[in-house]
Amino acid sequence: MMQRLVDRILPDEGILRRREADGYDEPRHRSGTTTVIDGTPIDQLLGPRNVSPTTLTSRSSTWSYDSLGGSVLGTNKEELLSKQLHALFPSQDDIDLITGSSPGTEWITTMLAATVTGRIESPAARIPIPHITNPPAVLARSLLQFAICIQHLSPQDTKSLALTFPVADTMLNIVSTVSNTIISNDDMIGSIEGLQCAILHGHWLLNAGNLRKAWLIFRRALSVAQLIGVGPGNVASASWDGRESHNTHSPASVNRAWYLIVSADRYFSLLLGLRIDMRDDSFASEEAMKDDGPDERLEKIHSVISARISDRNLQDPHQAFLTTQAIDYDLDAAAKRLGHAWWADPTSMPSEFTYQRFERLKRLMRHICHYSLVNVLHLPYLLREPAEHRYSYSRATCIRSSREVLGRFIAFRTDVESVSACRHIDYSGSIAAMTLLLSYLVRGQSLPGKTSGSEDKREEDRVLVGRVKERMEQVAMLNQDKLSQESARIIGQLLPVLAVDGPERVALATGAESDTVQLDIPYLGVVRICVNPKQGQGTLQISDLRHAEERSSLQEPGIPQQFGPSGLELDGQVENMFIHVEPHSLGDHPEFPSLTAEASDWPFQGVDTNFWSLLHGGLGRESDDGEGMY
């Protein structure tokens, strides 16, 4: 199944693609039915497929090139492509107007400055149009930079600018053309500038909510980078001299590009429950980080931790618990190095400058990333047997980290209303909200070592999650966003879990089973959560856990001895909790979205599948063919 995913990104051999090259003409905006940001078909975003060959004639402005980098019926392939790409730019005045209003300008120019120079620089005030004589990859890089600035505009921003051209169509035309001509072309992507285009394209796809396509882009970039000698351990890397580049790049800038690709691949793999591809951690060595600031060091440590959690998820349950303890210790140590002041909630100031807002939002995102990693690390142990004291720490840590994420989610989405800006924040918010709510399935038990909060804390959580739901609904309405809408709906279904008892829980009934929430998760199964079973009949039913492998005597290093020797009885009585997953196969459900479906067809993109799988005891579980769960 994973091979089919990878095949989707690779162009077919012998395919030729015809494009128009009209010099400095204004871009021709597509007139198709796709007008939303996340609705571009995969063939337009991941490369040309099944296009008939076309010959180039001296009387026509059309031209052809081989999508695999082969020969062209003409001698000026790159010049023609540069003209084609240059024609996509609107006027410099329009670009300045958009970049001056878009929150994305600071984000994307900082990313590229770090990529190009190997160091973090102040955000640029504008994006100049490169000269038409520049190589195609250089032009494409600026085009994608501009497209992401458009993407970060909120609907209100777009209206207030009163632009004379269709902004969404312009953005989609840029991304589609660059994907077809640069990203899917082996010759064009095989340079530092080409890899930078892949990085930008992947982030655009992430912001559009197309996580699976973004994963494919970064996985392809990993392969291309190794082919041209980028990254340690490659045969060609020892003699890297910048030959695969249109400009001179320092070793630091080359290493930065490599790090961005590896880090993104790990993030998407962890979020989607896929295997990581590259285990090189040289970017996080003391030598490599000697010039990094505290924020950059933490970011690299997070990348290393992401890989370790992904590997942990494939281990047998006994070893996985030991690994979880070690990773938690390292995450906690990394956090303590920054001091308490760094972890304080960043607050906005009335007369905040642009760069101050930028730094504040970056800090918020790093906080959310850290607490989300902590949450995912301990998630498999959230709903384990409450009588097992060794899981109490994991449960308490999930609860604490979820609260930290949700408070910062509200702050971020209040400041940044465009869902196409920093989309990963929304996935973190959804996971944290579901985690906090589900923790109350277990927390009502009066068991030794139980981390049950007071009624005041329960009410605080109810208010917190309610504010998150309300903010998601507002963002969904403003942006016509399906992910925010679906997240708010699921949170609304689970909110009655916070009720101690009484009519509010009874009102949760859906279908034949009283007091049951039923969720149909693509590629996993039907999840049924009963929040009010009869006294003495509530059981945590998780069918596929390996009972024998879970019996151990474990103690977490550096943590007070609260994990006493004991075994796990999965069939023990658990009051107020019943969660069961009924798996279904792909063949039984042809209505499932395709494995690379658009965000409009599959809002969660498989993030929900991974979440429920881990909660369901997915550690160490693989399919019969060894390809993993998905």
From 229, 262, 285, give the residue that closes a domain: 229
Please report the sign of the dihedral spanned by the C-alpha atoms of residue 180, residue 82, residue 66, residue 216: negative
Residue from 11, 68, 30, 75 nearest 177 by CA: 30
Res. 267 pLDDT band, cuts 50 70 90 = very high
Q: Which of 104-118, 347-361, 386-400, 615-629 has the highest mean pLDDT?
A: 386-400
Answer yes or no: is 175 within a domain.
yes
Query: What average pLDDT score do residues 239-266 get?
Result: 75
422 lies in some domain:
yes
The predicted pLDDT at position 531 comes to 65
- Give a yes or no: residue 23 inside a domain: yes
Cα gap 566→591, rounded to integer Å: 45
Beta-carbon contacts of residue 455 (< 8 Å; ≥ 6 apart): none
| Residue 353 pLDDT exceeds 90 | no
Question: Is the same domain home to 603 and 518?
Answer: yes
DSSP 454-475: PHHHHHHHHHHHHHHHHHHHHH
Residue 448 has pLDDT above 50, yes or no: no
**pLDDT above 90 (res 268):** yes
329-356: average pLDDT: 90
**Which two tokens mark 224?**
């291309």
Are 363 and 483 members of one domain? yes
**What is the tally of structural domains in the chain?**
2
At 427-446, the pLDDT tens digits run: 999 999 999 999 988 765 43
Q: Does residue 175 sit in the same domain as residue 301?
A: no
Per-chain mean pLDDT for the chain: 76
Pair type for strands 62-66 and 16-20: antiparallel
Is there a domain that residue 257 lies in?
no
Q: Are residues 211 and 341 in the same domain?
A: no
Q: Please indicate, yes or no, whether residues 95 and 214 belong to a single structural domain of this protein.
A: yes
- The least confident of 269-283, 311-325, 411-425, 448-462 is 448-462
pTM: 0.78
Where does the pLDDT of residue 273 fall: very low under 50, low under 70, confident under 90, or very high at 90 and above?
very high
What confidence tier does 235 reach under pLDDT thresholds 50, 70, 90? low
User: pLDDT of 120-156, one tens digit each?
Assistant: 444 455 789 999 999 999 999 999 999 999 999 988 8
Q: Over pLDDT 90: what percentage of the chain? A: 47
At 352 the pLDDT is 81
Q: What is the mean pLDDT of residues 366-379?
A: 98
User: Are 184 and 8 in contact, with CB atoms under 8 Å apart?
Assistant: no
Domain match, 223 and 304 both: no
Checking if the pLDDT of 504 tops 80, the result is no
At 247, the pLDDT band (50, 70, 90 cuts) reads low
* Shared-domain flag, residues 321 and 221: no
Q: Which amino acid is at 119?
A: R
Quick: pLDDT tens for 251-263: 778 888 999 999 9
Of 187, 210, 229, the residue at which a domain comes to its end is 229
Q: Residue 181 is part of which domain span?
A: 17-229
Segment 93-121 shows an average pLDDT of 74
Q: Is residue 463 part of a domain?
A: yes
Question: Residue 388 — very low, low, confident or very high, per pLDDT cuts 50/70/90?
Answer: confident
Is the residue at 277 inside a domain?
no
Burial of 625 (0-12, 13-18, 19+ CB in 10 A): exposed
Is residue 576 over pLDDT 50?
A: no
Low-confidence winner among 192-201, 233-242, 618-627 (lowest mean pLDDT): 618-627
Sign of CA dihedral 501, 506, 508, 509: positive
CA distance 408 to 412: 6
Q: Tell me how far apart the alpha carbons of residues 189 and 10 are, in angstroms, rounded to a whole number.
A: 13
Across 505-532, average pLDDT: 66
Half-sphere exposure of 60 (CA within 13 A, CB side): 12
Tell me what percent of the residues of the chain surpass a pLDDT of 70. 68
Model confidence band, residue 498 (pLDDT cutoffs 50, 70, 90): confident
Are 431 and 611 within 8 A, CB to CB?
Answer: yes
Do 219 and 315 fall into the same domain? no
Among candidate residues 209, 229, 249, the one where a domain is terminated:
229
Residue 365 has pLDDT above 80, yes or no: yes
pLDDT for 372: 98
Residue 528 has what pLDDT?
Answer: 84
Residues 211 and 302 in one domain: no
CB 213 within 8 A of CB 228: no
Q: Are 215 and 265 in contact (CB under 8 A)?
A: yes
Domain check: are 298 and 224 in the same one?
Answer: no
- Structural domain contains residue 620: no
The predicted model gives 97-120 an average pLDDT of 72
The whole-number pLDDT of residue 37 equals 37
Identity of residue 34: T
Predicted confidence at residue 520, as pLDDT, reads: 81
Is the pLDDT reported for residue 302 higher than 90? Answer: yes
pLDDT at 108: 83
Highest-confidence range of 70-79, 107-116, 118-127, 464-473, by mean pLDDT? 464-473
pLDDT band at 356 (very low <50, low <70, confident <90, very high): confident
d(CA 375, CA 370): 9
Report d(CA 393, CA 389) in Å as an integer.
8
CA gap 368, 412 in Å, rounded: 10
Identify whether residues 214 and 111 lie together within a single domain.
yes
Evaluate whether residue 242 is within a structural domain: no
Q: Do 305 and 223 share a structural domain?
A: no
